[in-house]
């Protein structure tokens, strides 16, 4: 059986991959997908169940106010992270994970990381955030192109099905410039 794991890059500070223990018997299986005692950065307030078709890429997204949780329940995907937190020991580093529904794992990561996932086959995943979708808006919903040269993630695919919004995402450099402008405006308005 293939195991979910980090396949390229480094473990990003404050993120963690938790291999989940699927208990099987003649009835099926039972898997705990989240525990408070894991001591993660995550305090979830919203859980979502997401279905994706083969070839779909979701991301690269960036949130400055909320942490995220991702667990592939079925299928196969590649999940990439890029650390944009200037105070982090892994600033500007990336991590690329390969996840399998048959080897369930939860990837939990903090705010300030670019993140995106590509599905090689029809897949379902569980996603949680520490801030409800109704409570955040455009001021915390940033992104960059999944294939931007300055992203530096060696994705093992060359094309993807994207949302209309993701089609217009900028490079990492342009995203960071927009973030600097946004922070400057915040400082001035305070």
pLDDT for 81: 98
pLDDT for 189: 64
Cβ-Cβ contacts under 8 Å for 29 (sequence gap 6 or more): 22, 23
Q: Which residue matches tokens 């705990």?
A: 32
What's the DSSP call for residue 35? -
Q: Which helix H or strand E contains 1, and what residues bound it? A: none
pLDDT for 164: 96
pLDDT for 147: 97
pLDDT for 190: 60
Our count of domains for the chain comes to: 1
Q: In what order do the strands lie in the sheet with 46-52?
A: 16-19, 105-109, 68-74, 123-129, 46-52
pLDDT for 187: 65
Q: Tell me: the pLDDT tens digits for 2-54?
A: 999 999 999 999 999 999 998 999 998 888 888 887 888 888 889 899 999 99
CATH of the domain at 176: 2.60.120.10
Cβ-Cβ contacts under 8 Å for 181 (sequence gap 6 or more): none
pTM of the model: 0.91
Spell out the SS3 assignment of 3-18: CCEEEEECCCCCCEEE
Residue 37 phi, psi (nearest 5): -70, -5
Per-residue pLDDT of the chain (190 residues; tens, 9 = 90+): 799 999 999 999 999 999 999 899 999 888 888 888 788 888 888 989 999 999 999 999 999 989 999 999 999 999 999 999 999 999 999 999 999 999 999 999 999 999 999 999 999 999 999 888 787 767 788 999 999 999 999 999 999 999 999 999 999 999 999 998 887 776 666 6
State the Cα–Cα distance between residues 102 and 121, nearest whole angstrom.
13
Q: Is 55 helix (H, G, I), strand (E, B) or coil?
A: coil
Instruction: Identify the domain containing residue 184 by its residue range.
Output: 5-189
Burial of 53 (0-12, 13-18, 19+ CB in 10 A): exposed
pLDDT for 42: 83
């Amino acid at each position: 059986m293939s195991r979910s794991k980090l396949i390229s890059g480094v473990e990003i500070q404050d993120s963690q991959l938790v291999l989940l223990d699927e208990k099987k018997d003649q009835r099926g299986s039972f898997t705990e997908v989240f525990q408070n005692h894991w001591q993660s950065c995550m305090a979830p307030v919203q859980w979502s169940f997401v279905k994706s078709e083969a070839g779909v890429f979701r991301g690269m997204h960036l949130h400055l106010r909320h942490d995220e949780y991702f667990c592939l329940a079925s299928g196969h995907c590649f999940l990439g992270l890029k650390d944009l937190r200037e105070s982090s020991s892994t600033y500007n580093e990336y991590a690329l994970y390969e996840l399998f529904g048959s080897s369930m794992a939860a990837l939990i990561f903090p705010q300030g990381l670019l993140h995106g996932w590509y599905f090689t086959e029809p897949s379902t995943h569980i996603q949680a955030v520490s801030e409800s979708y109704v409570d955040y808006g455009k001021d915390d919903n940033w992104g960059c192109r999944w294939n931007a040269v300055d992203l530096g993630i060696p994705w093992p695919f060359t094309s993807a099905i994207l949302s209309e919004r993701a089609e217009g995402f900028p490079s990492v450099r342009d995203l960071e410039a927009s973030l600097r402008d946004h922070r400057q405006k915040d400082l001035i308005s305070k």
